[in-house]
Structure 1
Amino acid sequence: MAAEEEDDVEWVVDTIAGFLRGPAWSIPILEFMEHNCEVFDDEEESKLSYTEIYQEYQALVERLLEDYLKEVGINEEKFQEAFSSPLAKTHTSQAILQTVLAAEDFRLFKKMMVQKNIEMQLQAIRIIKERNGILPECLTEGSDVFSEIEQEEMKILREVLRKSKEEYEIEQERKRTEEDLSETEKQQLKQREDYLKKKRDLLLATKKESKNNVPPLSTDQKEEESPPKEEMSEEKQRLLQKRKMLAEKLKEEVINKR
C-alpha cells in the first residue's frame, strides 16, 4: 500500500512539475513579475505598495493552481502532500518551486521581485549599450551611482530602461520574423510570378489561336451584310426627294403670289 501511495505522490509531483514548467504557469507569473518588480528595492523597509502587489500575486497563484488541479482531478490534500514531499525538490527545480512558495512567504516574494528588478535593469542597460554603442554617463560611475540620483530621476530612468527593453524586444522579434519569413516569402513570390507568367502566356496563346481560327468572310456573306447600308442609302434618297418636292412647291407659291 505504501508503494502505491508513493507512486501516487510521484505521479502528482510529476504532473504539477510539468505544469509549473509550462507556459500556462510561467508566462502569467513572469509577466506579473516584470510588470510589478520596478517598485521593489533591497531596503529593509516594506512599503504599502509591496503588500498590495503581494496580495495580487497570491490571488494569481491561487487561481492558476486551482484551475489546473481542477482540470486534472487533483484535490487540495493530494497537492499539499505531494508538494511537501522530498520528491517535489528532486523533480522540480528550486527556481520553479520558488514561484509557488513565494505566495506563502512574503520575504521570499520580496527577494524574488528585487532580483527580477535588478535583472531587468541590467538587461535594459545592456540593450542601451548595444543600441547606442555607449552607456549614459550616469550609468558609468560605479555600482553606487544610483544613490546619487534623486528618487524622481530614478523612477524616470527605470521607465526609460523598461521602454528601451520593450522596444528592443519588439525590434528583435520583428527582425527574427523577417529572417524566418524572408526565404519563404521569396519562394512564394517566385512561385506566384511563375504562375502569373504561365497564365499570361496561356491567355496570349489562346487569343492568338482563336484569332487565327476565324474563317475569312465569303462574297455571299459580304453581300448579306451590305443591304443595311443600301437601305440607309435609299432612305436618305427618299428624304432628299421629299425636301426637293417641298422646295419646288414653295417656289411655285412664291412665284404665283408675285
Structure 2
Amino acid sequence: MSFTPRTAVVTASDSGIGRATAVALAEAGLDVGITWHSDEQGANDTADEVRAHGRRAVVTRLDTSDLESCGDAVDGLIDELGGVDVFVNNAGRGDNAPFLDMTLDQWRSTVATDLDGAFVCLQRAAQKMVDAGNGGRLIAVTSVHETQPRVGSAAYDAAKHGLGGLVKTMAIELGAENITVNAVAPGEISTPMNDAEDVDPHRIERPGLPLRRPGDAREIAAVVAFLASPAASYVTGASWPVDGGMLLMGPHAGSHLTSDDWRRP
C-alpha cells in the first residue's frame, strides 16, 4: 500500500479506451504519457483533457508494428515524462478475415501490432521500473478473445491469447521487483474500433448480454485505474473481464442460436 504512482504511460490514448484511461489516471493524480498512431489531433485532445485536471501530459507517436522503433519511442516518452510508475499497453488492432482467406501479411501485421509490439513496449517499461527500484504497475488491455475465440478473427484471437499468457509469465518473474502485471479484457465497447464511439451504449440493445448493452470506454478505464492504484497492491497475474457478462453466455448463446448467421464474420 506504500506504492504511490505519479507517472503513467497509456499507449493508443488518442481515442476510445486509451483516452478514457489517460483521463482517469489524470483524475487520480498522475502525469500521463500519451501515444498516437494515425490521429495526432486526437492525442492532443487527450492531452488537453489531462491538463484540465492539473496534470502534465507528454505526447509522442508510437507504431507497435514497427518493432525496431517502438521500444525506443517508449523509452523516449518515459524519459521526457521523468519516469513511469504505471504502463498501460492499450495499442492494438483487429482483423476480420476467415482463416482460409487470411493472407500471411494480414496475419503478421495483426500479430506484430497486438503481441510482438506489446512485448517490446512492456519490456522497455518494465526495465525502466526495475532500474528505478520503486515497483510499478504493468497493465495490458487484451479482450474477451484472450480466452474465447471469434469467427473471422484468427490472428487477433491468437495475439490476444498470447498476450494473456505473457501477462501471467511477467507477473511471476517481476513480482520480486514489486511490479504487478495484470490484464483487462473488454467485451463489446463503444469505441472507434467498433465504429460506435459517439453512440451512447445505454441506448443499444444487446439481448445476448446479461447487462443488455455494450460497455462505455470509461467503464474499462475505471478498472485499469483500480489496478494502477495502491489498493490493487496484492493483485497480479489476473485477467479482469469487463464485458457485461459476455463470457458467461457461451452455453446459452450456443444452445439458443436459431440460424447459421454466426458462421459469417
Shared fold, TM over 0.5? no
**With structure 2 as the length reference, what TM-score do the two structures score?**
0.20
Higher strand proportion? 2
Give the structure with the higher percent helix: 1
Q: Rg bigger for which structure?
A: 1
TM (normalized to structure 1)?
0.20
